[in-house]
Amino acid sequence: MSRKRYENYDHVQNGTSFSDMLRWNKERRSKKKDLTVQIPHAEQIEVQQLHENNTNSSITWIGHSTFLIQINGKNILTDPVWAKRMGVQKRLTEPGIPINQLPEIDMVVISHGHYDHLDFGTIKKLPGSPTFYVPIGLKSAFTRRGYKKVIEANWWDTFTYQELNISFVPAQHWTKRSINDTNTSHWGGWVMEDSKSSPSIYFVGDTGYFRGFRDISERFNLDIILMPIGAYEPEWFMKISHINPEDSIKAFLELKGKIFIPMHYGAYRLADDTGPEALERLTNEWNCLGLGQEMLKVLAIGETYWAEKNGDEEHD
């Protein structure tokens, strides 16, 4: 029996061919990139404060698309990946917090099944006994490994975990973990809303720019946007699946968010751009548009952003 295959909005496909791969590899060999400069780590990691925090909302960037999010005493991880390698590529920057220094995790949200977003080697080391929220089609990958607290989501599904609403929203991407499973599970982002006046947080996941951002904005009042900005070069190859820094700002404005926190850059070399290049393009476009500097929160790896409902920092 054939397996269900999931699609993007408007049936947009990641239709790259073998000849496209050859063209990209040829271009890559001709490019000279400086990989000696990397995204900095925070000077101080607030591990003790994170363990003791039961009331304040916090967002700590572990690296790539992995965040530790705290909302009213709940510890949430997004796309947890502590892997030292991704394929043949060695990790460029160490995770912001060693995995054995995490507080006990209550929830894990997964955006999709690509290895840089779903690493079972990491998951088996997580402290606590988390509930996993995963895109539809991925549950079996967890249950056959012995995980029982797994909830599958389709686009626009909403769940409640101890007064926290978690909604799975669309993205423009694709997924594959083995030869025959292309797009047999879905992809998307997660919106987290708490009834105790904590800020709403939208973890965008992995995506190209698409009209779905406007639909998400119509359904949710969003405060903090965790937005990808990297793995976009060459753009003729990556554009469908990976948003570039300029379009990430366009999406943020369409989402009507209050705080922009960039992610998905600086940990793995998944494309030809570098972490510093992505960040430079982001800040240049931000300044060209005259957007408020207080809205852009560029985190060092391991840095924690403490937030209130209105998006202002409680403390550094």
Residue 105 is encoded by which pair of tokens?
Answer: 């995790």
How many CB atoms neighbour CB 65 within 10 A?
26
| Amino acid letter, residue 60 | T
The residues pairing with 285 across neighbouring beta strands, listed in sequence order, are: none
Would you state the pLDDT for residue 311? 43
Domains of the chain, each with CATH number or no CATH: 44-307 (3.60.15.10)
> Which residue(s) pair with 189 in the sheet?
169
Amino acid letter, 56: N
Question: In this structure, what DSSP letter does residue 15 have?
Answer: -
SS (H, E, C) the chain: CCCCCCCCHHHCCCCCCHHHHHHHHHHHHHCCCCCCCCCCECCCCCHHHHHHCCCCEEEEEEECCEEEEEECCEEEEECCCCCCEECCEECCCCCCCCHHHCCCCCEEECCCCCCCCCCHHHHCCCCCCCEEEEECCCHHHHHCCCCCCEEEECCCCEEEECCEEEEEECCCCCCCCCCCCCCCCCCCEEEEEECCCCCCEEECCCCCCCCHHHHHHHHCCCCEEEEECCCCCCHHHHCCCCCCHHHHHHHHHHHCCCEEEEECCCCCCCCCCCHHHHHHHHHHHHHHCCCCHHHECCCCECCEEEECCCCCECCC
SS3 238: helix
- d(CA 204, CA 191) in angstroms, rounded, equals 8
57-63 and 304-307 strand pairing: antiparallel
Q: What do you get for the CA distance between the two ends of the chain, in Å?
A: 55
For residues 221 and 66, give the distance between their C-alpha atoms in angstroms, rounded to a whole number.
23
- pLDDT score for 1: 55
Is residue 199 within 8 A of residue 150, CB to CB? The reply is no
At 93-105, the pLDDT tens digits run: 999 999 999 999 9
Q: What is the pTM of this model?
A: 0.95
pLDDT at 2: 67
Picking from 47, 57, 297, the residue whose alpha carbon sits closest to that of residue 201 is 57
pLDDT string in tens for the chain (316-residue length): 568 999 999 999 987 777 887 888 888 777 888 888 999 999 999 999 999 999 999 999 999 999 999 999 999 999 999 999 998 889 999 999 999 999 999 999 999 999 999 999 999 999 999 999 999 999 999 999 999 999 999 999 999 999 999 999 999 999 999 999 999 999 999 999 997 778 999 999 999 999 999 999 999 999 999 999 999 999 999 999 999 999 999 999 999 999 999 999 999 999 999 999 999 999 999 999 999 999 999 999 999 999 875 444 444 4
